Amino acid sequence: MESRCENCIIRQFNSLRAMSKEELKQVSDTKTTKIIKKGESLFEEGDKLNGVYCVRNGVSKLSKLSANGKDQIVKLASKGEVLGQRSVISQEITNLSAVAVNDMEVCFIPKDSITNTLQKNPNFTLEVLRHIAHDLKEADDVIVNISQKTVKQRMAEAFLYLQNNFGEDADGFLALTLSREDISNVVGTATESAIRIISEFKKKGLIHTSGKKIGIKDERKLLEVVEGF
Amino acid sequence: MESRCENCIIRQFNSLRAMSKEELKQVSDTKTTKIIKKGESLFEEGDKLNGVYCVRNGVSKLSKLSANGKDQIVKLASKGEVLGQRSVISQEITNLSAVAVNDMEVCFIPKDSITNTLQKNPNFTLEVLRHIAHDLKEADDVIVNISQKTVKQRMAEAFLYLQNNFGEDADGFLALTLSREDISNVVGTATESAIRIISEFKKKGLIHTSGKKIGIKDERKLLEVVEGF
DNA sequence: CTAAAAATATGATATTTATCAGTAATTCGT
DNA sequence: ACGAATTACTGATAAATATCATATTTTTAG
């Protein structure tokens, strides 16, 4: 038997915890679990979404393509996050693409269970609202960072962000390994520039690398870079 | 007698239209109307907000100060928009400052009327959710624009945005007049750079100016600049 | 295991943008 | 209306960043 949402721990991290037993039962009855391999996409910018994706495992990058062909990564979503919410709420096509950064396990929840609950259960709606409000605040911060900080500052910030949000492995490397291109798309810069700054940070002893893996060596100095020293 | 929310047209443009008669009555009984002069602030980054502001007239810039002392304008809010919603919902201090760009008339609505309704009226909550979701989508667009477009492209885009959202006056100038500094803070660039590009656009016949007023002369060519030609 | 492909790295250079310095124009308070 | 203060503008220069070219390393497919 497939696992039931009622027993799913992941739910505690997102707005689904505000659903009633019956609502949750309906979600569980209609949901499907999917395995998404690294590099595959959950949905593409412009798609009409018929539901939301609840992340059980793995990480997805949410990005938007610009006219010049470069992707800007707007958010990295991991365990517990619900993707596609915004699009389902506004009943608009999605403005972002979601691509797996590593192998993922997600639950697809058809939109009806969501929209029905949104209309009937104010606790759930409020909970979703709180999450979206939080995302909005973070987006505002990103705007200010990108427009006011140098690439070097944003690179340092990105490493600290990855450390805080995804942790480190046994060998002291960031647990989430991104390609140099993905890093540059998070930071909003050219891939070559990102690589150059990685080299510089390495030379200065702020980080260490092994292949594409990156580890933080001197958190204090990285923070100083973020602050502009 | 002061005007009542029940009769207020502005309400049709925002989430307050989803309130019931009784809820609206309570809002009306507790609200206060304020005049905010150009340059004065509704609230400052870091303030704890005791309510939201419903804009009846005038325009407010929502901005965030960065470490280097420059403001980044994240949004321009005018008639019908409700400011401070996000902060009240998350019960956090506000992450933005709201300053009047011209003389404003706003209604201050104490947060209790809002939070009570959020917990009881799912229609209202859903309506607020839709608005915040829309803001989030716009914020994502801003992120991509800032990181992927040149200053020149963003300047052209800003003028078209001002035209679309605030219209033109009888003489063909943008109805919302911003200082050069404000323009540079919307676009996310140095004031001198913004001025330089204004001069260039003027020389090329894309815009015309009179004092600080700016008018669009060749919309098509401006659009071409946005697209990168 | 190996050749091909992809990703990473680095140098040289061009372009974009910011900063500094100074002048002209406009706005504001009395 | 007048001087002071702010805002707008322009030039010279410096700094940041992107782009192009190319080499090296790593990964992938067969």
User: What's the pLDDT tens digit per position in B137-168?
Assistant: 999 999 999 999 999 999 999 999 999 999 99
Is the pLDDT at B2 greater than 70? The verdict is no
Cβ within 8 Å, pair B125-A130? no
Give the CA radius of gyration of chain A. Answer: 19
β-pair partners for B113: none
Could you check: is the Cβ of residue B199 within 7 Å of any atom of nucleic acid strand C?
A: no
| Mean local confidence (pLDDT), B12-24 | 92
Q: Ramachandran region of residue A2, left (φ > 0), alpha (ψ -120 to 50) or beta?
A: beta
Q: How far apart are the first and last CA of chain B?
A: 57
Cα B10 from Cα B184, distance rounded (Å):
30
The chain-wide mean pLDDT, for chain B, equals: 94
The nucleotide minimizing the C1' distance to residue A211's CA is: D26
**B-chain residue closest to A68, CA distance:** B148
Distances (CA, A) of B96 to A223, B11, B101, B110, B191: 23, 23, 15, 19, 21
pLDDT of residue B11: 86
pLDDT category of residue B1 using cuts at 50, 70 and 90: very low
Cβ-based burial of A161 (10 A; exposed 0-12, middle 13-18, buried ≥19):
middle
The dihedrals phi and psi of B38, each to the nearest 5 degrees, come to -45, 130
Cβ within 8 Å, pair A64-B144? yes
Q: Which residues from B are below 8 Å from A86, CB to CB?
A: 133, 136-137
**B-chain residue closest to A147, CA distance:** B188
User: What's the pLDDT tens digit per position in B105-130?
Assistant: 999 999 999 999 999 999 999 999 99
pLDDT of residue A134: 93
Q: How far is the CA of B83 from the C1' of C29 (A)?
A: 33
Query: Strands (DSSP E) along chain B, which ranges?
Result: 32-36, 41-43, 51-57, 60-65, 71-77, 82-83, 97-100, 104-110, 207-210, 213-216
Of the residues A143, A157, A191, the best mutation for testing chain B's interface (the one with the most B CB atoms within 10 Å of its CB) is: A143
Cβ within 8 Å, pair B90-A134? yes
Q: Which residues from A are below 8 Å from B72, CB to CB?
A: 143-144, 147-148
The secondary element (H helix, E strand) that includes residue A187 is helix A180-187
Is the pLDDT at B58 greater than 50? The verdict is yes
Q: How far is the CA of A120 from the C1' of D6 (A)?
A: 55
Q: Which of B98, B82, B108, B84 is nearest to B11 (CA)?
A: B82
Contact A207, A215 (CB under 8 A): yes
- Beta-carbon contacts of B3 under 8 Å, excluding residues fewer than 6 positions away, are B33
Q: Which residues from A are below 8 Å from B85, CB to CB?
A: 133
Could you give the 3-state DSSP secondary structure of residue B71? Answer: strand
Q: List chain D nucleotides near protein: any atom < 7 Å from a Cβ.
A: 7-12, 16-21, 26-27
pTM (predicted TM-score)? 0.91
| Mean local confidence (pLDDT), B18-25 | 94
State how far residue A98 is from chain B, nearest Cα, in angstroms: 14
Contact A89, A44 (CB under 8 A): no
Is the pLDDT at B104 greater than 50? The verdict is yes
Per-residue pLDDT of chain A (229 residues; tens, 9 = 90+): 468 888 888 988 899 999 999 999 999 999 999 999 999 999 999 999 999 999 999 999 999 998 778 899 999 999 999 999 999 999 999 999 999 999 999 999 999 999 999 999 999 999 999 999 999 999 999 999 999 999 999 999 999 999 999 999 999 999 999 999 999 999 999 999 999 999 999 999 999 999 999 999 999 999 999 998 8
Q: How far is the CA of B39 from the C1' of C30 (A)?
A: 21
Q: What is the ipTM of this complex?
A: 0.90
